[in-house]
Amino acid sequence: MDNSLDLEGFKNINKETRGILNDYLLSLNTANKSEATITKYQWILEKFLSQCAIPIEKISSKDVLDWLNDYSEGKSPKTMDLVLACLSSFFTFCLEEEYMEKQVLKKRWRPKIPQTLPRHLTEKEYARVRLAAESLSLRDRALILFLFSSGCRRQEVSDLNIEDINLVQRKAKVRGKGKRIRTVHFSEECALILKEYLNERSQDEKAPLFLNRKGSRLMPTGIYEVTKKLGKKAGLNHLLHPHICRHTFATNMLARGADIQFIADEMGHVNLNTTRIYARIPTEDMMLAYQNKMG
């Protein structure tokens, strides 16, 4: 995201428009949108409203399109899709609250983005990573096993406290996107290593599940560094980041015949179509079965 606009430029937004923007951002918070989403949307809207300094009720489709044409220079289709999604959400709010009389955004402006398949580890890569992980510290082994067997996002893992974990039932309560609480499960091996890790440190239930070297909560950037180093240790020819662990969890579950709805619940997908994309990934078992039948 281009951050070239000086914050001084945001002062171009008049008082009335600023009030509408603040009401909109408050509505996002009330709707339990994630902090990251609200921050992105605020930045985009402040950029738009400061550069297209026209009262909300007088903004036309041409005003918006002119701004989009200028702003889109050098931007990827994915970035522009986010910008348009943000503007669409904001203008819909303005319509509902009667700040505007008609929708000024056109659906045909949305760029066509080819749907890419999630990057996951092949069976051989997964085996190499698991083998390399055996020489890691207890904390890092527990972390890697939890990522691979729960399908959690790194922020969700970072936010976990000891009280959120049930080692006997091998499940955890995580706070996902939109502050939604869900229950995830993890493997027996993960539970055993987690127990060992917790036995060598503080047992305060309010304490973070994973600690950094200073005894504070292990942050998402720290989790990223652990997976990155493990990928190099395992000799992968690509970066191993936490989301690849999440994608690998989904593809492994599908290959074992798990129900799509169950996988969606475990991963915290509200839209089942988000989970169905994993069904398009040909696993090695699928390819082997094809080769055996087709030659």
Please indicate, yes or no, whether residues 185 and 243 belong to a single structural domain of this protein.
Answer: yes
User: Is residue 12 assigned to a domain?
Assistant: yes
Please indicate, yes or no, whether residues 17 and 157 belong to a single structural domain of this protein.
Answer: no
Sheet holding 165-166, edge to edge: 165-166, 171-175, 181-185
Please indicate, yes or no, whether residues 266 and 145 belong to a single structural domain of this protein.
Answer: yes
User: Is residue 57 assigned to a domain?
Assistant: yes
Q: Which residues contact 240 (CB under 8 A, 6 or more apart)?
A: 121, 129, 227, 228, 230, 231, 232, 234
User: Is residue 69 assigned to a domain?
Assistant: yes
User: Is residue 245 assigned to a domain?
Assistant: yes
Please indicate, yes or no, whether residues 102 and 129 belong to a single structural domain of this protein.
Answer: no
Please indicate, yes or no, whether residues 57 and 174 belong to a single structural domain of this protein.
Answer: no
Alpha carbons 223 and 227: distance in angstroms, whole number: 7
Q: How confident is the model at residue 140 (pLDDT cuts 50, 70, 90)?
A: very high
User: Across-strand partners of 165?
Assistant: 172
Q: What is the pLDDT of residues 204-255, one digit of tens each?
A: 889 999 999 999 999 999 999 999 999 999 999 999 999 899 989 988 887 7
Please indicate, yes or no, whether residues 190 and 276 belong to a single structural domain of this protein.
Answer: yes
Please indicate, yes or no, whether residues 102 and 137 belong to a single structural domain of this protein.
Answer: no
Strand 171-175 versus strand 165-166 pairing type: antiparallel
Please indicate, yes or no, whether residues 49 and 188 belong to a single structural domain of this protein.
Answer: no
Please indicate, yes or no, whether residues 268 and 131 belong to a single structural domain of this protein.
Answer: yes
Q: Which of 170, 124, 151 is nearest to 247 (CA)?
A: 151
Q: How confident is the model at residue 280 (pLDDT cuts 50, 70, 90)?
A: low
pLDDT, residue 264, reads 82
Q: Which of 164, 223, 167 is nearest to 199 (CA)?
A: 167
User: Is residue 223 assigned to a domain?
Assistant: yes
* Host domain of residue 31: 7-109
Please indicate, yes or no, whether residues 132 and 91 belong to a single structural domain of this protein.
Answer: no
Is residue 156 pLDDT above 90, yes or no? yes
User: Is residue 33 assigned to a domain?
Assistant: yes
CATH code for the domain of 26: 1.10.150.130
Alpha carbons 72 and 95: distance in angstroms, whole number: 25
pTM, rounded to two decimals: 0.63
3-class secondary structure, 191:
helix
Q: What is the pLDDT of residues 41-88, one digit of tens each?
A: 999 999 999 988 888 889 999 999 999 999 999 988 888 989 999 999
Distances (CA, A) of 237 to 121, 222, 228, 233, 281: 11, 21, 12, 11, 20
- Which amino acid, 263? I
Please indicate, yes or no, whether residues 159 and 282 belong to a single structural domain of this protein.
Answer: yes
Count H helices and E strands in the chain, helices first: 13, 3
User: Is residue 189 assigned to a domain?
Assistant: yes
CA 173 to chain centre: 17
Tokens representing 229? 């180093």
Maximum Cα–Cα distance across the chain: 70
**99 secondary structure, DSSP code:** S
pLDDT, residue 10, reads 54
Please indicate, yes or no, whether residues 136 and 232 belong to a single structural domain of this protein.
Answer: yes
Q: What is the pLDDT of residues 229-239, one digit of tens each?
A: 999 999 999 99
Domain count, the chain: 2
Q: Which residues are catalytic?
A: 153, 177, 243, 246, 269, 278
CATH code for the domain of 184: 1.10.443.10
**162 secondary structure, DSSP code:** G
Backbone angles phi and psi of 183, in degrees to 5: -105, 130
Rg (CA), the chain: 23
User: Is residue 118 assigned to a domain?
Assistant: no
Q: Of 81, 109, 137, which residue constitutes the final position of a domain?
A: 109
